[in-house]
């Protein structure tokens, strides 16, 4: 009986299911090709006027809103648009979508909208030639410049990769115009030259680039650089303003140099440094450094400390001409000769010579494909005196240090250098749930790592003047020979830091700072300046930005010739 009821129930359920099924007679697939024009054109807008609104052919791509400030100050939250989802505002660059082109042309309208601010409307036509990518630069004119100038300039742009593997392309575009006299700023509308951090010229192609013109691209090995822009007199053009964290947002109008607080009046004075950020230029990248009139901020030196005012001056910025490639293939490596028993040493990487280095000096950097790497140190007699093998990773920067260990044997140790300028700092009140705000970045770093390569000293500590801490405990205290600190390894300074000295101490567990090594010459902050003569203004800096390693090398014990005595050397990892 049970089975009969069960069978009847199943039949009833099946009938209900069949009765609920409906045939979808009105459904069909649309296999017609999509003829809608999509993708980007080869036309890019470069916005040097700080406009925040954009229309193409009368169609608004931005929000065209000017909201009141928040109570107590602060920027209100602007709604996004389809083309600018973050905040509905135009940024520095924008590639025009092809759907807005009609027979290769489009009308561009740009403006500036903000609470109680002047508008700055620009309108012009753009034309695409597909095989010739180009930029349309939007530039400042009256009343910011001394005379009326052309506001839109068409500039060709390269998007092809460099011809050499592991290289990038870069050029200089000079749109410097003389600013209005009301800005009380120096005249930078002159031929300009692109240089490295030490003031040496990048190339003849990027030297003396005339106003309203641009250089050709040059190719350089990928890496971390601090490019500067110089006038014919050797003075520097500032980058666009930096940030409060590094105090790189205030500039002296008369000299384009950064300032630091001072007592009395004036309440801020020049540091002698001109802001130029340190940046990693990726392999395969294409970059433009462009100079143009920009809104800057100066301290009101005869007012209340902290007060400032806006002014306009020519400043440079770095623009990526293609999306920056992700480096999954290359690393960079240099070598340092810190063995006091050897003179010139040749360093070989995977069987290929990297370069030669005398005692206390380094080779240039080489670019290599990631993978298992063998580094050999070869002395003047042609003998391999030390060797190291390690799996080296893409995007990393390494230094191979040759030194003598306590047993008197030459040793190579590989140390990776953090050239990003970023670090994680544990703050007070951190719950451990979210570390977002503990990640910090310096674009203008004064970072120093310390290394003990003196085998006569089992422990060394480094301090500033009078035993004052130079950095974190892990990065400066009781450093053992050949062991690089990995937890907060860098001492970090900024551009307002006063002149300082670095001292070495014989220390030990529980002993800090220890006994001052008076036989080891003291390093001064000015020793970090590669070429003091490169600073041509009256006020000279007391330090120079970059990422460095200070290593204690040589020997301390016994009667030694001067060349072998313990000393501190400075190795700069940025160029």
Residue 198 phi/psi, 5-degree rounding, is -85, 5
- Structure tokens belonging to residue 247: 């105090």
Q: How many CA atoms within 13 Å lie on the side-chain side of 26?
A: 1
CA distance 287 to 170: 5
Q: Which of 248, 244, 173, 241 is nearest to 211 (CA)?
A: 173
| Pairing mode of beta strands 446-452, 546-553 | parallel
What CA–CA distance (Å, rounded) separates 462 from 544?
20
Q: 3-class DSSP state for residue 211?
A: coil
User: What is the b/e burial string over 391-416, where b = at least 16 CB atoms within 10 angstroms of the residue's CB?
Assistant: ebeebbbbbbbbbbeeeeebbbbbbb
Is there a contact between 460 and 506 (Cβ–Cβ < 8 Å)? yes
Measured between alpha carbons, how far apart are the two ends of the chain, in Å? 93
CB 462 within 8 A of CB 450: yes
Q: What are the sequence ranges of the domains in the chain?
A: 38-69+77-138, 156-325, 328-417, 437-575
**CA separation for the pair 30, 14 (Å, rounded):** 34
Neighbours of 61 (CB within 10 A): 20
| Under 8 Å between Cβ of 115 and 124 | no
Six-digit token pair at 433?
A: 């749930």
- Rounded to whole angstroms, how far apart are CA atoms 478 and 3? 85
Indicate the pTM of the whole model: 0.90
The answer to whether 202 touches 246, Cβ cutoff 8 Å, is no
How many beta carbons lie within 10 A of that of residue 333, not counting itself? 22
Burial class (CB in 10 A: 0-12, 13-18, 19+), 66: middle
Q: How far apart are CA 246 and CA 258, in angstroms?
A: 11
CB 523 within 8 A of CB 551: no
Q: How far apart, in whole angstroms, are the C-alpha atoms of residue 525 and residue 541?
A: 10
Q: Please list the alpha-helical segments (H only) found in 54-116.
A: none
Instruction: For residues 329 and 325, give the distance between their C-alpha atoms in angstroms, rounded to a whole number.
Output: 11
Q: CB–CB of 324/285 below 8 Å? A: yes
CA distance 152 to 15: 75
What does the block give as tokens for 412? 């190579």
pLDDT at position 430 = 57
Architecture of domain 328-417: Sandwich (2.60)
Q: How far is CA 119 from the centre of its chain?
A: 32
Q: Tell me if residue 561 falls in helix, strand or coil.
A: coil
Per-residue pLDDT, 16? 52
Pairing of strands 122-127, 257-261: unpaired
Mean pLDDT by 10 residues, the chain (575 residues): 53 54 60 68 97 97 92 86 96 96 96 92 95 97 95 97 97 98 95 98 98 98 98 97 95 97 94 98 98 96 92 98 96 98 96 97 97 97 97 97 95 97 74 71 97 96 95 95 94 96 96 95 98 96 98 89 93 98
Could you write out the DSSP letters of every residue in 309-326?
EEEEEEEEEEEESSPPPP
211 vs 222: CA distance, rounded Å: 28
Burial grade of 242 (CB within 10 A; 0-12, 13-18, 19 or more): buried
Rounded CA separation 478/507 (Å) = 6
Structure tokens at 575: 């160029």
């Amino acid at each position: 009986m049970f089975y009969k009821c069960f069978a009847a129930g199943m039949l009833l359920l099946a009938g209900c299911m069949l009765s609920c099924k409906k045939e979808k007679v009105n459904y069909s697939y649309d296999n017609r090709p999509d003829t809608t024009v999509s993708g980007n054109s080869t036309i890019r807008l470069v916005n040097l006027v700080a406009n925040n609104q954009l229309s193409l052919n009368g169609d608004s791509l931005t929000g065209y809103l000017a909201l009141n400030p928040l109570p107590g100050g602060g920027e209100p939250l602007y709604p996004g648009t389809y083309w600018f989802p973050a905040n509905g505002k135009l940024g520095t660059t924008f590639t025009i979508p092809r759907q807005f082109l009609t027979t290769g042309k489009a009308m561009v309208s740009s403006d500036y909208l903000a609470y109680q601010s002047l508008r700055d409307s620009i309108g012009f036509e753009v034309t695409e030639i597909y095989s010739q990518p180009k930029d349309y630069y939007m530039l400042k004119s009256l009343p910011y410049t001394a005379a009326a100038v052309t506001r839109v300039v068409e500039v060709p742009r390269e998007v092809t990769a460099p011809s050499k593997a592991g290289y990038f392309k870069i050029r200089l575009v000079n749109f410097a115009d003389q600013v209005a006299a009301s800005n009380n700023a120096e005249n930078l509308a002159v031929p300009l030259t692109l240089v490295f951090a030490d003031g040496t010229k990048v190339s003849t192609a990027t030297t003396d680039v005339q106003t309203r013109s641009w250089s050709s691209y040059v190719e350089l090995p990928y890496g971390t650089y601090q490019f500067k822009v110089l006038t014919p007199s050797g003075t520097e053009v500032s980058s666009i303003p930096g940030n409060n964290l590094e105090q790189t947002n205030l500039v002296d109008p008369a000299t384009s140099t950064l300032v630091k607080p001072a007592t009395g009046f004036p309440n801020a004075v020049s540091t002698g440094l001109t802001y130029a950020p340190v940046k990693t230029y990726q392999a395969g990248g294409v970059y433009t450094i462009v100079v143009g009139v920009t809104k800057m901020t100066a301290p009101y030196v005869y007012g209340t400390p902290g007060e400032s005012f806006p002014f306009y001056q020519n400043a440079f910025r770095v623009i990526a001409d293609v999306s920056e490639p992700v480096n999954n293939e290359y690393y960079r490596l240099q070598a340092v000769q810190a063995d006091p028993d050897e003179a010139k040493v040749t360093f070989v990487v995977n069987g290929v010579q990297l370069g030669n280095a005398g005692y206390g000096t380094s080779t240039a950097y080489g670019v290599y494909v990631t993978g298992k790497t063998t580094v050999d140190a070869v002395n003047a007699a042609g003998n391999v005196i030390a060797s190291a093998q390690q799996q080296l990773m893409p995007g990393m920067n390494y230094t191979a240090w040759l030194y003598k260990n306590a047993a008197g044997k030459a040793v190579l140790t590989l140390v990776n250098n953090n050239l990003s300028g970023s670090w994680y700092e544990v703050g007070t009140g951190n719950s451990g749930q979210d570390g977002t705000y503990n990640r910090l970045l310096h674009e203008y770093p004064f970072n120093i790592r310390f290394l003990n390569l003196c085998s006569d000293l089992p422990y060394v500590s480094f301090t500033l003047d009078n035993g004052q801490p130079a950095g974190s405990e892990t990065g400066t205290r009781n450093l053992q020979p050949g062991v690089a600190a990995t937890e907060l390894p860098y001492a970090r300074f900024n551009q307002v830091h006063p002149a300082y000295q670095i001292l070495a101490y014989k220390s030990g567990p529980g002993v800090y700072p220890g006994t001052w090594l008076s036989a080891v010459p003291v390093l001064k902050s000015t020793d970090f300046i590669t070429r003091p003569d490169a600073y041509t203004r009256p006020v000279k800096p007391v330090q120079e930005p970059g990422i460095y390693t200070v290593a204690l090398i040589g020997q301390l014990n016994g009667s030694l010739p001067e060349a072998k005595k313990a000393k501190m050397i400075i190795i700069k990892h940025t160029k």
